């Protein structure tokens, strides 16, 4: 518990407000807080509160000090401070004078959070469903970018950037602005005093994260405490192109590279544990979470406590293969908005829970609040494929880091391996029968599994989480190559060919867009 008081926006010559601060400071009240997160701008926020006595060096302590009270004598916690926080977080603040409280979750939902209601009128909050399923009559995921107030008894969105309204942006593309914004996003995540490294899959996104981190590695305390070289980590099937690509980037950057191998059977054996920890039966999430889960265990065994990763790039830049089929820039932009809003149920969930299962923290600079605003404010015309101008997917990101004098990366193409997915499908075919699939809609009327692989994951999930509330937290609907259901309208050939894998989607690699793209 921490006794606090904060009145923001109080000028030095405002005698009345200063008197009010002194008056309230004599009162006895406390704020009890529970926080999961990292506040990257906590030092700047502390400077805004020069008269506050901080008890610890924790970045999260500043949250409680930012909380003010209304100017009257009510005990309602103020709620307008959350947007000041630059970082990732889930927290509960309780005013012990009257037991009023607020709950908030970060802008994109990088940290995990659920809320539930008991029959006795109680409200429960937890980072995992496992903390709620025995106590709550109903529970659901806590919406990202929102807060819940016990006084109002409702949710309110605190995160309201321009792109949320889905207005089509028109800002011209400036590669230097984009580069500087991303470098800033990476640098602020080097705030740490524990051993850390980077996840390096060999693709563009993780390679850029690794490159920028390597350039600025000497600044943080960790580099001084744990050695002058950055550590990078990769996992894959023996001989996969991903491993080769990651190795090439690591050699170019001069990182201490740790390459781990797993077999298809290793992954299959881990699936039950993976689903238990990630708390979803979504096929793409289970597929991607399993190697990450196995890698996190290896990394933590080396004493590393934090890694920086490349999640989120495909959503904000429209980097998935199916974006080739976007009919115009308006549809392109709206689909990126839908993808970002759903990240907390897919990539953010995977990155957070696959790693936290082993006590490893992951940080994701592509989903930095300020960086997202820069990217989403760019005219989407620049993000689209344009054959005549040599633009491929994520061209604006590639162009921003195309520095001939001091290249960020070697010349390489993204490597992708599919043996892992093939192995999962074969395993499901051996365990699920055609007869089971015929009855799937009766067994699972909500989010009916469309494939044997999906049925297999659903069975495991419901064994751990049999409550209807748990089932409803998982997204559903048709998808092609990671698309939303709305984007399937872009190509009539996709209507009967649903599969989350980009390779399986008919023609997803082929361009079918207006002549100027």
Q: How many residues does the chain have?
A: 517
Alpha carbon of 429 to those of 92, 272, 391, 424: distances in Å? Answer: 45, 17, 40, 9
Q: How far is CA 69 from the centre of its chain?
A: 32
Instruction: Sheet with 31-39: list strands edge to edge.
Output: 31-39, 87-95, 100-105, 146-149, 154-157
What is the Cα–Cα distance from 487 to 334, expressed in whole angstroms? 10
Closest CA to 462 of 143, 133, 136, 142: 133
> Which residues make Cβ contacts (< 8 Å) with residue 146, sequence separation at least 6?
104, 105, 155, 156, 157, 158, 159
Radius of gyration of the chain (CA): 24
Closest CA to 496 of 511, 507, 420: 507
Query: Which structure tokens are listed for 379?
Result: 């005219």
Is residue 345 within 8 A of residue 475, CB to CB? The reply is yes
Beta-sheet pairing, 196-199 with 306-308? parallel
Bridge-partner residues for 37, per DSSP?
89
Residues of the binding site: 59, 199, 235, 309-310
Q: What are the b/e assignments for 226-248, b being 16+ CB within 10 Å?
A: beeebbbbbbbbeebbbbebbbb
Residue 399 neighbours by CB distance under 10 Å: 14
Residues of the binding site for ATP: 199, 235, 309-310
| Direct distance between the N- and C-terminal alpha carbons of the chain, in angstroms, rounded to an integer | 58
Please pick, among 2, 136, 234, 337, the residue that the annotation labels catalytic. 2
**Angle (nearest 5°) at CA 4 between 30 and 58:** 105
Q: Quick one: three-class SS letters along 385-452?
A: CEHHHCECCCHHHHHHCCCCCCCCCCCCCCCCCCHHHHHHHHHHHHHCCHHHHHCHHHHCCCCCCCCH
Bridge-partner residues for 146, per DSSP?
157
What is the Cα–Cα distance from 483 to 479, expressed in whole angstroms? 5
Closest CA to 355 of 191, 185, 196, 465: 196
What is the Cα–Cα distance from 329 to 168, expressed in whole angstroms? 8
10 is catalytic: no
Residues of the binding site for L-glutamine: 59
Alpha carbon of 32 to those of 2, 94, 299: distances in Å? Answer: 6, 5, 34
Alpha carbon of 192 to those of 38, 88, 182, 424: distances in Å? Answer: 10, 14, 19, 37
What positions carry a catalytic annotation? Answer: 2
């Amino acid at each position: 518990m921490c006794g606090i008081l904060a009145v923001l926006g109080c000028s030095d010559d405002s005698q009345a407000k200063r008197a009010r601060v002194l008056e309230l400071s004599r009162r006895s009240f406390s704020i009890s807080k529970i926080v999961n997160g990292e506040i990257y701008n906590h030092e700047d926020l502390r400077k805004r509160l020069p008269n506050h006595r901080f008890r610890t060096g924790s970045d999260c302590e500043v949250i409680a000090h930012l909380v003010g009270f209304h100017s009257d004598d009510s005990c309602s916690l103020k709620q307008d401070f959350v947007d000041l926080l630059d970082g990732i977080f889930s927290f509960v603040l309780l005013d012990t004078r009257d037991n009023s409280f607020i709950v908030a979750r970060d802008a994109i939902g990088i940290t995990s959070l659920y809320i539930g209601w008991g029959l006795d009128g109680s409200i429960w909050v937890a980072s995992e469903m496992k903390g709620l399923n025995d106590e709550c009559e109903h529970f659901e995921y806590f919406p990202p970018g929102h807060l819940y107030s016990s006084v109002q008894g409702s949710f309110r969105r605190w995160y309201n950037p321009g792109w949320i309204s889905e207005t089509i942006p028109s800002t011209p593309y400036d590669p230097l602005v984009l580069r500087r914004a991303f470098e800033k996003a990476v640098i602020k995540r080097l705030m740490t005093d524990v051993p850390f490294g980077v996840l390096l899959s060999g693709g563009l996104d993780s390679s850029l994260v690794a490159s920028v981190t390597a350039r600025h590695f000497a600044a943080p305390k960790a580099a001084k405490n744990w050695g002058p070289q950055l550590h990078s980590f990769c996992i894959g099937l023996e001989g996969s192109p991903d491993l080769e690509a990651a190795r090439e980037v690591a050699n170019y950057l001069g990182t201490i590279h740790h390459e781990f191998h797993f077999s298809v059977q290793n992954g299959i054996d881990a699936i039950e544990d993976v689903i238990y920890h990630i708390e979803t039966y979504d096929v793409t999430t289970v597929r991607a979470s399993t190697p990450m889960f196995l890698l996190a265990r290896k990394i933590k065994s080396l004493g590393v406590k934090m890694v920086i990763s490349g999640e989120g790039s495909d959503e904000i830049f429209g980097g998935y293969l199916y974006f080739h089929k976007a009919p115009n820039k308006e549809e392109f932009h709206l689909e990126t908005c839908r993808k970002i809003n759903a990240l907390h149920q897919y990539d953010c969930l995977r990155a957070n829970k696959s790693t936290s299962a082993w006590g490893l923290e992951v940080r994701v600079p592509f989903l930095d609040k300020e960086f997202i605003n820069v990217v989403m404010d760019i005219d989407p015309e620049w993000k689209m494929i344009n054959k005549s101008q040599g633009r491929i997917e994520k061209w604006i990101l590639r162009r921003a880091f195309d520095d001939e004098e001091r290249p960020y990366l070697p010349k390489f193409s993204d490597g992708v391996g599919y043996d892992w997915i093939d192995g999962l499908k074969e395993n499901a075919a051996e365990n699920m029968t055609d007869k089971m699939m015929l009855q799937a809609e009766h067994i699972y009327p909500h989010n009916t599994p469309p494939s044997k692989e999906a049925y297999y994951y659903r069975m495991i999930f419901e064994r751990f989480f049999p409550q209807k509330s748990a089932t409803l937290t998982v997204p559903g609907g048709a998808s092609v190559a990671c698309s939303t259901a709305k984007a399937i309208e872009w190509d009539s050939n996709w209507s009967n060919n649903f599969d989350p894998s980009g390779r399986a989607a008919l023609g997803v690699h082929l361009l079918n867009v207006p002549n100027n793209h």
